Structure 1
């Protein structure tokens, strides 16, 4: 068979049909505010399934690049130091201090019927939250979150699914932080007062 004939046969192949998968549009409307206390300044605090347990007080933080697990959840899941793997990169807190790391652990996280393995950095600092779900996990889900609407929305099997935030839990966590640091100075007194 000649090269010209092979080339001609390849050109005469039927074009492949392009399969276009239509994804639902993710967004928020005023209807999404129903059931929330408005106006507010609350964080998004949700419940998700981690390691086979429903975990409350999960902070959804679009500003964080790392999934974090705090000591209370680590102990509550009956995890042991030998379950950790080394994590060498430094982690800096909001106030600019380097955080003490215990290591990293991979656990199954289930949202709806989807189960994925998530690497959590285990830290040894106080937090009223059990853990932080950050940008990497939100991006994996194709999710968008809104503190205003107290929801995380994500596409799942052609539908838009929601995870509802809990304003009462968010407010309890805020109070816990304030009570944990009773000797904190106000910014005015720290700068020399008014």
Structure 2
């Protein structure tokens, strides 16, 4: 093929146009507050599909770096000790006590149409929540969460999907924590009084 013919064929081609992508902007507005009770101080509690099951009472905690699974979910998913990976770093609860760890397990978590693998630390501690998802989960999804707006926004296929929190479930969890009376050592058995 001659150079002249190639140039002629190239001249008949349409000019290349720059590719434009429409990017959805993840933001929250007053419109997002419409179905929430305002003002509030509720945590963000959602329902997620974990290992194929709809799991209610999952706390979204963007302030934490650890994803946690509590005993009720561990038992409910029929997990066995041999399913766990050894995990040794200490975990300290809000009251400053060391939490007993059973191990770690990697499970698929579906949020809207997106699925990511999450490393849950399985703990032996009380919580009205079934699990906590944290920054690693949010970052894997490139998601943004808001307790004020009670939503998680997840980019997916050029659009923004929303996971809506349940304020009534968050309130029930709070009441359960307040009513939960852990076993307390009496001052006499602890070796003295005040």
Q: Is the partner of 1:173 in helix, strand or coil?
A: helix
Which stretch has the larger CA shift, 96-105 or 55-64?
A: 96-105
Q: How many Å apart are 1:19 and its aligned residue?
A: 6.4
What is the CA–CA distance in structure 2 between the aligned matches of 1:125 and 1:144, rounded to whole Å?
Answer: 28
Quickly say closer, same or farther: Cα 1:64–1:18, change in 2 above 3 A: farther
Q: Is the partner of 1:153 in helix, strand or coil?
A: strand
For 1:93-172, list aligned pairs within 5 A: 93-172=93-172
Q: How many Å apart are 1:21 and its aligned residue?
A: 4.8
Bigger-Rg structure (1/2): 2
Aligned to 2:178: 178
Which stretch has the larger CA shift, 31-40 or 175-184?
A: 175-184
Aligned to 1:90: 90
Aligned residues: 169
What is the CA–CA distance in structure 2 between the aligned matches of 1:124 and 1:182, rounded to whole Å?
Answer: 13
Kindly indicate whether the alpha-carbon contact (under 8 Å) linking 1:23 and 1:155 is maintained by their aligned counterparts in 2.
no
Q: Is the partner of 1:139 in helix, strand or coil?
A: helix
Quickly say closer, same or farther: Cα 1:124–1:141, change in 2 above 3 A: same
Quickly say closer, same or farther: Cα 1:182–1:105, change in 2 above 3 A: closer
TM-score (norm 1): 0.82
Q: Which consecutive residues of structure 2, in runs of 5 or more, have no partner in the other structure?
A: 1-16, 185-194
Kindly indicate whether the alpha-carbon contact (under 8 Å) linking 2:61 and 2:134 is maintained by their aligned counterparts in 1.
yes
Q: Which consecutive residues of structure 1, in runs of 5 or more, have no partner in the other structure?
A: 1-16, 185-194
TM-score (norm 2): 0.82
How big is the alpha-carbon RMSD for the aligned residues of Structure 1 and Structure 2?
A: 2.0
What is the CA–CA distance in structure 1 between the aligned matches of 2:104 and 2:19, rounded to whole Å?
Answer: 39
Quickly say closer, same or farther: Cα 1:19–1:141, change in 2 above 3 A: farther
Kindly indicate whether the alpha-carbon contact (under 8 Å) linking 1:102 and 1:124 is maintained by their aligned counterparts in 2.
yes
For 1:26-105, list aligned pairs within 5 A: 26-105=26-105
Quickly say closer, same or farther: Cα 1:100–1:19, change in 2 above 3 A: farther
Kindly indicate whether the alpha-carbon contact (under 8 Å) linking 2:44 and 2:151 is maintained by their aligned counterparts in 1.
yes
